[in-house]
């Protein structure tokens, strides 16, 4: 934070960078992976959480990734639960175990909590909390009664209600917003909202994003009493999800829009003249480098997901035209260079 005096707060920042962790590599879990972060530092306003959830939704909407679930909880709610069941001094052990509910099940969570010194009596008090049903707002109403003796817990519920009520009006485009009481994320610096993003159900993969509110995290860098909130996108996992669902945007797969078939040197020179005009109009095109079998060149275009090929042989040179083939439909049409520009625009 050596430039903290040069910043205007609230300060918004984003970055994409490689990160590392000591882990056993497996599908969707890498020792090195790319992460995109977005943070707002210097404001306690809950509108920041609302805006970051909208950011998630906007990104997944643009990727046509439907069925993504944004799970939301609050660290204050977890603190309130620990307080109410008498496990306040075991908050960290309690939240770490609770966060594993979807992986090891209720019995596994209970066993881990008992091993950490959380009593049977506390676990009995926890049981009704794990069975909350209904919409997020309905669950929070029920939770409010259970946590009625915890000031901290009620504050957490109030913050969650603000966010969920905002999205009664601000309708999400693609993502589903859910309340997940067991969500803890295992990071002790979160102090308010906790967010985690799950991929569509048909993809067996861990979270593809997450984050939350952190108060005074910047204090370790000398910037005291500065609240912040941030989210991250797991780019490598999002890549895997898009790949599995065959959702890569067409423009990404087809950087080259048209491939000119190579019939020989004379024909290639004719093609290169046309390519200069297309490229001048920002139309990505290329010439197959070798005069080889037509089938091989067509196969190359197909494997590269190039949507169009142009055949320009002696007939086309004589008529100053081009035969355009749509690789998806198989349709062919004869075009002038001006007509090609219109097609690709």
Domain boundaries, the chain: 4-244, 251-344
d(CA 177, CA 99): 18
pLDDT band at residue 342 under the 50/70/90 scheme: very high
**Contacting residues for 162 by C-beta, under 8 A, at least 6 apart:** 46
Is the overall model pTM greater than 0.85, yes or no? no
DSSP state of 26: B
Q: Do domains 4-244 and 251-344 have the same CATH topology?
A: no
Where b means 16+ CB within 10 Å and e means fewer, 233-267 reads bbbbbbebbbeebeeeeeeeebeebbbbbbbeeeb
| Residue 283 tokens, joined | 């139309």
Could you list the beta-strand ranges (E) of the chain.
11-20, 32-41, 69-74, 176-179, 193-198, 209-215, 227-234, 258-260, 285-287, 308-311, 322-326, 332-335
**Contacting residues for 15 by C-beta, under 8 A, at least 6 apart:** 36, 37
H helix or E strand, kind and range, residue 90: none
pLDDT mean across residues, the chain: 88
**Residue 9 in 3-state DSSP?**
coil
pLDDT score recorded for residue 250:
57
User: Using one digit for the tens of pLDDT, what is the confidence trace for 244-277?
Assistant: 998 876 555 558 899 999 999 999 999 999 999 9
d(CA 304, CA 172): 35
User: Using one digit for the tens of pLDDT, what is the confidence trace for 127-142?
Assistant: 888 778 888 989 999 9
State how far the alpha carbon of 166 is from the alpha carbons of 100, 155, 156, 290, in Å: 29, 17, 16, 60
| Residue 65 tokens, joined | 């990734």
Cβ proximity of 278 and 285 under 8 Å: yes
May I ask the CATH class of domain 4-244? Answer: alpha beta
d(CA 144, CA 159): 12
Residue 258, phi then psi, degrees to nearest 5: -145, 140
Cβ proximity of 199 and 68 under 8 Å: yes
State how far the alpha carbon of 266 is from the alpha carbons of 174, 262, 293, 316, in Å: 52, 10, 17, 12
Residue 70, phi then psi, degrees to nearest 5: -95, 110
d(CA 257, CA 326): 11
Residue closest to 144 by CA, chosen among 122, 120, 160? 160
How many residues can be counted in the chain?
A: 345
pLDDT band at residue 105 under the 50/70/90 scheme: confident
Start-to-end CA distance of the chain, whole Å, equals 47
d(CA 307, CA 255): 10
- Where do the H-state alpha helices sit in 245-312? 250-253, 265-280, 294-303
User: Using one digit for the tens of pLDDT, what is the confidence trace for 278-326?
Assistant: 999 989 999 999 999 999 999 999 988 899 999 999 999 999 999 999 9
The distance from CA 165 to its chain's CA centroid, rounded to whole angstroms, is 23
* CATH topology (fold) of 251-344: Rossmann fold (3.40.50)
User: Using one digit for the tens of pLDDT, what is the confidence trace for 175-210?
Assistant: 999 999 989 876 677 899 999 999 999 998 889 999
| Residue 275 tokens, joined | 């390519």
DSSP state of 50: H
């Amino acid at each position: 934070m050596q430039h903290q005096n040069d910043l205007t707060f609230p300060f918004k920042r984003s970055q994409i960078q490689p990160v590392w962790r000591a882990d056993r590599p497996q599908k969707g879990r890498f020792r090195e992976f790319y992460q995109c972060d977005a943070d707002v530092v210097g404001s306690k306003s809950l509108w920041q959480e609302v805006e970051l959830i909208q950011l998630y939704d906007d990104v997944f909407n643009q990727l046509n990734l439907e069925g993504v679930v944004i799970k939301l909880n609050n660290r204050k709610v977890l603190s309130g639960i620990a307080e109410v069941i008498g496990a306040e001094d075991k908050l960290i052990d309690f939240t770490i175990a609770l966060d594993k509910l979807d992986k090891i099940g209720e019995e596994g969570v209970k066993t881990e909590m008992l091993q950490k010194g959380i009593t049977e009596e506390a676990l009995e008090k926890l049981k009704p909390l794990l069975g909350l049903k209904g919409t997020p707002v309905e669950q929070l109403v029920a939770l409010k009664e259970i946590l009625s003796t915890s000031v901290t817990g009620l504050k957490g519920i109030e913050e969650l209600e603000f966010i969920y009520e905002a999205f009664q009006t601000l309708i999400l485009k693609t993502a589903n917003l859910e309340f997940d009481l067991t969500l803890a994320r295992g990071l002790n610096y979160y102090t308010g909202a906790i967010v985690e993003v799950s991929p569509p159900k048909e993809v067996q993969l861990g979270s593809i994003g997450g984050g939350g509110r952190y108060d005074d995290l910047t204090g370790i860098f000398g910037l005291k009493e500065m609240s912040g909130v941030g989210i991250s996108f797991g780019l490598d996992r999002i890549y895997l999800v898009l790949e599995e669902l065959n959702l890569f945007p067409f423009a990404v797969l087809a950087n080259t829009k048209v491939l000119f078939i190579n019939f020989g040197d004379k024909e290639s020179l004719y093609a290169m003249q046309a390519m200069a005009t297309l490229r001048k109009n920002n139309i990505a095109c290329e010439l197959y480098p070798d005069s080889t079998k037509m089938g091989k060149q067509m196969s190359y275009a197909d494997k590269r997901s190039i949507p169009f090929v142009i055949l320009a042989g002696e007939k086309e040179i004589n008529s100053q035209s081009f035969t355009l083939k749509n690789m998806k439909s198989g349709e062919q049409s004869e075009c002038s260079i001006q007509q090609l520009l219109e097609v690709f625009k």
